[in-house]
Structure 1
Amino acid sequence: MFGDAYVHAGATYPAPGNPDIDVLVAMPGVLLVVEAKGERFTAPARRAAPGRV
């Protein structure tokens, strides 16, 4: 959809433990970070409770 030049799968960033981003779309003027989860969201996660999102 965005093109191979802009899509980066499994990117990491410099933080303790080198956390990963499932998909990073980096286009001029736009940065889209995609994180996918395989389990259901809990009620605290749905309301964006600190520590849950």
Structure 2
Amino acid sequence: MSKEQTLMKLSAILIAALLSITSVAAFSHSGGTDSKGCHRNHKTNDYHCH
């Protein structure tokens, strides 16, 4: 395997790892929703749906 192929493989693994780590932050929080699937954030007084 050439040096260039090794570097490309390492880059792909690094990008995949970064994407999997940052996607964890995209999960919504649990519970506390009304019948429409919405709730109010009492800290910001924002009403939003999931």
Instruction: Identify the structure with the greater helix proportion.
Output: 2
Larger Rg: 2
TM-score range for the pair, normalised by the shorter chain length: under 0.3
Higher relative contact order (CA 8 A, sep 6+): 1
